[in-house]
Amino acid sequence: GENVEQHPSTLSVQEGDSAVIKCTYSDSASNYFPWYKQELGKGPQLIIDIRSNVGEKKDQRIAVTLNKTAKHFSLHITETQPEDSAVYFCAPGGGFGNEKLTFGTGTRLTIIP
Amino acid sequence: DTGVSQNPRHKITKRGQNVTFRCDPISEHNRLYWYRQTLGQGPEFLTYFQNEAQLEKSRLLSDRFSAERPKGSFSTLEIQRTEQGDSAMYLCASSLNRNTGELFFGEGSRLTVL
C-alpha cells in the first residue's frame, strides 16, 4: 500500500509570510496529488490538486509542485491570512487498480496575526 | 443543501452495542467512500463503492464492520459489538465516476464508545 509522510507536522508563520508543506509518497503508480484543508468540526475540503503529467499548478495564493521522480509534492501558500489556519492533508492516489486516496498525517498551520 | 449528508452527527454508545451510520452522497456521484479519522491523524480508508458494488475494502477493517449501498444512492456503515477503539470520526465522501478526482466529504459522524 501507499506510505505517505508529511512535514512538518506543525507550522506557525506570521501573517503575510509564506508557508510550505511537503508530502512524500511511496507508490510510483500514483498519478493524482491533491491537498485538502480541514477546519475544526468539518470534513476535509479540496484546495488544489495536480496530475502526474504536470509539474506545477497555481490558484491565486496557493500552488502545488510535483517531483514525480523523487516522489514528493509540496503545497505553497503565499501572503498567508488568519483564515488559512487549519490542518492540511496531502492525499496521493489514483493509478491502475487504485481508486482511493491515502491521506497523510496532517500539518497544523497556525497563522500569527 | 446539495452536499454530502451524514447522520447521526454524534453517537455515544456502550461497548458491545451495534451502531449504524448513514451517508447521502451528492446525487449525481457514482462513487462513495468511507474513511475513519482519529484525533490528530489523517483520514484512513475503509471501503468504497461504485454505484451499488463494493469494490475495495481495507485489509485493516475488522469483520465487525460492514457497509452497504443497496440502490447505488445512500450508504450505511454498521459496526457490530463496538469496542472503545472504534471511537473515531467516520467520514463519508462521494465523487464522480471518472479518473480519480476530488472527493466531497460530509461533516462526519462522531462515535464515542464508553
The gap between the terminal CA atoms of chain B, to the nearest Å, is 33
Per-residue H/E/C for chain B? CCCCEEECCEEEECCCCCEEEEEECCCCCCEEEEEEECCCCCCEEEEEEECCEEEEECCCCCCCEEEECCCCCCEEEEECCCCHHHCEEEEEEEECCCCCCCCEECCCEEEEEC
Residue range B15-57, pLDDT digits in tens:
999 999 999 999 989 999 999 999 999 999 999 999 999 999 9
> B90 or A93, which is more confident?
B90
Q: Which of A7-21, A55-69, A77-91, B90-104 has the lowest mean pLDDT?
A: B90-104
∠ CA A68-A33-B39 to the nearest 5 degrees? 125
| pLDDT for residue A87 is more than 90 | yes
DSSP letter at A106? -
| pLDDT for residue B100 is more than 90 | no
Q: Please give the pLDDT value at position B98.
A: 66
How many CB contacts within 8 angstroms connect chain A with chain B?
58
**Could you give phi then psi for residue A55, rounded to 5 degrees?**
-95, -25
Say whether residue A53 is in contact with chain B using an 8 A CB cutoff. no
B4–A43: do the CB atoms touch at under 8 Å? yes
Reported confidence tier of residue B101, pLDDT bands at 50, 70, 90? confident
A interface test, pick of B59, B100, B110 with most A CB neighbours within 10 Å? B100
